[in-house]
Structure 1
């Protein structure tokens, strides 16, 4: 997970924009990492992305790695979800 989080920070620092192929690859990598513990649908990932920003503990964790990382990652998750036909505004845990 540390290796993955470092890759997120590196991508954000490099100016990788949410919705690009590089950001999408990181979002897919995140799903793969979490799917080792439980199946993580794209909708569930969107809900997690919201938590990464809204929950103070998650936000502190991601923003502790790099200021603004929680929001960047949430936007990246949502952009990738849209590409797969998921509306982030209506996504639920399923």
Structure 2
């Protein structure tokens, strides 16, 4: 719904979605922002994950990765060099 509504990376609503995503996953294992960037990257580039998310809505995986990357940048993390830590 947020994607269809035009929620853009870097905005307050996008930041809330990224925080919510991190909170949901953190219920299962500790998830840092850097780790979340790695997940977002995988959601887009791993064929299985991409098929799942893009099956919900075409382009969802890439859109969500852009949200996560923008949030990371806003918190001083370079998404291009983020590692699982």
Please name the residue that 1:40 is paired with. Answer: 31
- Structure 2 runs not aligned, ≥5 long: none
Q: Among residues 54, 76, 81, which one is paired with 1:63 in the alignment?
A: 54
Structure ranking higher in helix proportion: 1
- Structure 1 runs not aligned, ≥5 long: 1-9
Report the RMSD for the aligned CA atoms in angstroms. Answer: 0.4
Moved over 2 A (4+): none
Q: Deviations over 1:12-65 (max 9, x none)?
A: 000111111101100000000000000000000000011011100100111011
> How many residue pairs align between the two structures?
85
